[in-house]
Structure 1
Amino acid sequence: MHDLVIFDCDGVLVDSEFISNQALADSLARYGLHMTATECISIFMGLTTEDCAKKAQEMGVSLPIGWVDQVEAETDDRLRAGVPVIAGVPKLLACLDAIGLPYCVASNGTPAKMKITLGQNGLWDRFEPAMFSAYALGVAKPDPALFQAAAQHFGATNPVVIEDSLSGVTAAMRANMRCLAYAPHGGGEKLTDLGAELFTDMAELPRLLGI
C-alpha cells in the first residue's frame, strides 16, 4: 500500500497545459521563433520557465533580460481567465481523504501560478499546507530532489507519483518511485519507455493505487 500520492499540477490536477503553452508560443513568436501551442507542449512541457528560455535560445532565438518574468506574468493573466480542473480529480481527492491517504503537489511551476489554477477550482486549501515547488526548493524535475523532499516531509517510504511529462517521469524514476503517467489523449509511449505505467482516466486511479 502506498503511503503518499505526489501529484504534478499542470495537466494532472488542472487542464492548464494548452493555455500556458499558447502564451509561451505567442511570446516566442514576438522574438522570431514561430511555433504552435501543440509544438510547444511537445518541446517545453514539464520544464521551468528558465529551462524553457534556455531551450529556446538553443533553438536560435534571442530573448531579452526579464523575458522569464514577462512570460510568466502573461501566462498568469491568461490562467486567471479560467482553467478547468481535470475530470475526476475532485472525486479522487475525496476518496483519498476518506481513507486517510496523504497527498501533495510537486511542480516545476511557481507557487503563484498554482494559487491561480488550484485556487479557482477549490483545490488550493487542500494542497497549500504541503506544496513543493521547484521555485521554492531551488531544484527542478528531472532532478529527483523535488519528489524526495515531498516523501521526506511526510515520512513516506512507498510514495507514488502522478505525472504527465518526460521530466516528471524521469524524476520519479531517478527517485526510485512508482510513477503513473496520465495521458488522456494518447501519445504516452515515451513515458512508458521511461518506466511509467500509463492511464487515461482519473477514474482508473483508485484501482491502480489499490484502494
Structure 2
Amino acid sequence: MHDLVIFDCDGVLVDSEPLSNQVMVANLARHGLSLTADECHRIFTGKTMPEVQDIARDLGADLPANWIAEFDAETDAHLRQGVPLVPGVLELLNLLDERGVPFCVASNGGPDKMRVTLGQNGLWDRFKDVMFSAYTLGVGKPDPTMFLTAVKHFGASRPVVIEDSASGVTAAIRANMRCLAYAPHGGGEKLADLGAEVFTDMAQVPGLLRI
C-alpha cells in the first residue's frame, strides 16, 4: 500500500481552474493579449506564475512589473465568492484518514490562494501543516523538487501523486513516482502518454490505491 498521497490543489482538490482561467482571460485582454478560454487553459495550465508572465509577454501582453501580485489579488477576490470541492474529494480524504494513509498538497499556486480555496471548504486545517508550494520552495513543476521534498518530509517510500496537468505529471515521473491523472472532461491521452494512469472520477481512486 502507498504510504503517502500527494495531491495537486487546483483541479484536483478544488474546482478552481475554470474561474481562475476566466480571470486570466479578462486580465490579459486588459493588457493587450486576447485569448479564448480554451487557448488560455492550453497555454498556461500547470505553469508557475513567473512562467505564465514570461509566456504572456512573449505573446504580446504588456504586463506591469507587479503583474503577478495584481493577478493573484484579482483571482483571490473571485475565489472568495465561492469555489467548490472536486466531487468525491472529501470522501477520499476521509477514507485515507480511516486507513491511516498520510496525505499532503503540492501546488504551483501560493499558500495564500490555497488558504482561500481550501479554507472555505473546510480543508485548510487538514493541509496547512503539509503544504508544499512553488512560492515557498522557489521552484515549481515540472521540476520534481516539490514532490521529493514532500517525500523527504514524511519519510515515505511508496508515494503516489494525483495530478491533472502535464507539468504535474512530468514532475511526478521525473521523481520516479506513480502518478494518477484526473481527467474528468476527457483529454487524458496526453497525460497517459507522459506516463500517468488516467482516471475520470475520484470514486475510482480507492480501487487504484487498493484501499
- TM-score class normalised by the smaller sequence: over 0.9
* Paired residue type of 1:57: R
Structure 2 counterpart of 1:82? 82
TM-score for the superposition, normalised by structure 2: 0.98
Match of residue 11 from structure 1: 11
2:173 aligned partner: 173
1:19-65 deviation digits (Å, cap 9, x = unpaired)? 11111111100111111223211110011211111111121222111
Of residues 44-53 and 159-168 in structure 1, the stretch that sits farther from structure 2 once superposed is 44-53
Q: Which amino acid aligns with 1:192?
A: A
State the identity %.
65
Task: Say whether residues 1:141 and 2:141 are aligned partners.
Answer: yes
In the TM superposition, what are the counterparts of 1:32-181 in structure 2 within 5 Å? Answer: 32-181=32-181
Gapped regions of structure 2 (runs ≥ 5): none
CA contact (8 A) 1:182 1:200 kept: yes
TM-score, length of structure 1 as denominator length: 0.98
How far off its partner does 1:3 sit? Answer: 0.6
Asked whether the equivalents of residues 191 and 198 of structure 2 are also in contact (C-alpha less than 8 Å), the reply is yes
Matched, 1:198 2:168: no
Equivalent position amino acid for 1:207 in 2: G
Q: How many residues align?
A: 211
| Structure 1 portions without partners, runs of 5+ | none
Q: In the alignment, is the contact (CA less than 8 A) between 1:106 and 1:131 conserved in 2?
A: yes
Q: What secondary structure is seen at the aligned counterpart in 1 of 2:106? A: strand
Shift of 1:148: 0.2
Contact 1:49 1:68 in 2 (8 A): yes
Moved more, 31-40 or 45-54: 31-40
Distance 1:101 1:6 in 2: 11
The runs of at least 4 consecutive aligned structure 1 residues that moved more than 6 Å come to none
- Give the deviation of 1:146 after TM superposition: 0.3
Residue aligned with 2:203, SS: helix
Return 31-40 or 165-174, whichever deviates more. 31-40
RMSD between aligned residues: 0.7
Distance in 1 between residues matched to 2:94 and 2:113, nearest whole Å: 23
Kept in 1: contact 2:7–2:103 (CA 8 A)? yes
CA–CA distance in structure 1, aligned partners of residues 201 and 134 of structure 2: 27
| d(CA) in 2 for partners of 1:130, 1:65 | 31
